[in-house]
Amino acid sequence: TPDIDPIAVLDEHREQFSEAFVTVKGPSVGGTRYEVEREIDARIAAELIKRGGEVVIKNRYSVWIAEDGWSVDVFGGLNAPLIVAEA
């Protein structure tokens, strides 16, 4: 919800995080864009979030519909109630 401070939540629960990822996205070309994702140490991720700019809150779910695998991203914070699904 927009009234919750994500940095305060991060500080309160940072020791509970076991994994974190950083994603770098390239420019959009013809409706697609290059994207690379790497796992990083959760402590480093927490510091990057605290020192960085705007925070994007997103939970990713994997869903199978028939034979198709989907990634469903449910956004929180200022981007709520945005939901993005991609196969």
Strand duo 32-40 + 83-86: pairing: unpaired
Spell out the domain ranges in the chain.
1-54, 56-87
Q: What is the DSSP letter of 17?
A: -
Helix (H, G, I), strand (E, B) or coil at 50: helix
pLDDT at 65 over 80: yes
Q: Helix (H) and strand (E) counts for the chain?
A: 2, 5
Using the structure block, give the residue that is written with the tokens 């919800």: 1
pLDDT at 1 over 70: no
Quick: pLDDT tens for 24-64: 999 989 888 899 999 999 888 888 888 887 778 889 999 99
- Cα separation, 79 vs 12, whole angstroms: 22
More confident residue, 64 or 2: 64
pLDDT of residue 84: 96
- Cα separation, 22 vs 85, whole angstroms: 19
